[in-house]
Amino acid sequence: MAAASKAKRDDPEIDVVVFEQGKWVSYGACGLPYYIKGEIQSLTDLVGLV
């Protein structure tokens, strides 16, 4: 994702397509401490869908 994001920033006119084999493309890693602490009940709450 980092390479795709950089390519798009460098040239906003290009089409960038990303294929992901896993279940989730992205998640908010900064929220993991809240999940561990119990303030977030489900890991799916950390998933970003766009």
Q: Where are the domains of the chain?
A: 18-50
What's the pLDDT at 50?
60
* 14 Cβ neighbours under 8 A, 6+ residues apart: 7, 8
Percent of the chain with pLDDT over 70: 84
Q: In the predicted model, is pLDDT for residue 48 greater than 70?
A: no
pTM score above 0.75: no
Per the listing, tokens 């390519």 go with 7
Per-residue pLDDT at 10 exceeds 90? yes
pLDDT in tens, 25-44: 766 678 889 999 999 888 88
| Phi-psi sector, 17: left (phi>0), alpha (psi -120 to 50), beta | beta
25 phi/psi in degrees, rounded to 5: -85, -35
